Amino acid sequence: MSLADQLSQDLKQAMKDKDKTRLSVVRMVRAAVKNKEIETGTPLTDDEILTVVQKELKQRQDSLQAFLSAGRSDLTQAVQAEIEILHEYLPTQLSDEELKQVVRDTIAEVGATSKGDMGRVMSAVMPKVRGRADGKRVQQTVQSLL
């Protein structure tokens, strides 16, 4: 089942269950997907939808940090619930050891020897771990191994 179909089914189920939080999150993701389709002029693939979900997740994580630093515990619970729902649409995250192995293999493929090669390594690693590791985590791992 495609990710777009999964979103549609989850929307219907959230309506039936009267789950306002899930309904809101799924509608938000579908709206973001629709906007991206309008922007590109073509239907999105599952990988492109995954990118949209990641972008929405990052926005929620940034909001969570802002709310925590401002001491707004009333808003942090709602954003945390949205983050948990968005995680359901992402593939299983790579463990630290799996990520290190992917980075080591890529460093060997690219022939990187110094921190100056970080851009080349990052551009080669990111497509391999798309959706399964956060860019910040990948960057820290690449830095530690170079």
Instruction: Write the CATH number for 71.
Output: 1.10.1510.10
Look up residue 130 and give its DSSP letter.
T
pLDDT for 113 equals 77
Same domain, 9 and 79: yes
Query: Per-residue confidence at 51, pLDDT binned at 50, 70, 90?
Result: confident
Q: Tell me which residue range forms the domain holding 23.
A: 3-87
Query: Per-residue confidence at 82, pLDDT binned at 50, 70, 90?
Result: very high
pLDDT for 8 equals 92
Same domain, 72 and 102: no
* End-of-domain residue from the set 66, 87, 108: 87
pLDDT for 72 equals 84
Instruction: Scan for tokens 């022939």, then name that residue.
Output: 111
Provide the angle, in degrees to the nearest 10, between the axes of the packed helices 20-40 and 73-87: 60
Same domain, 38 and 74: yes
Total domains in the chain come to 2
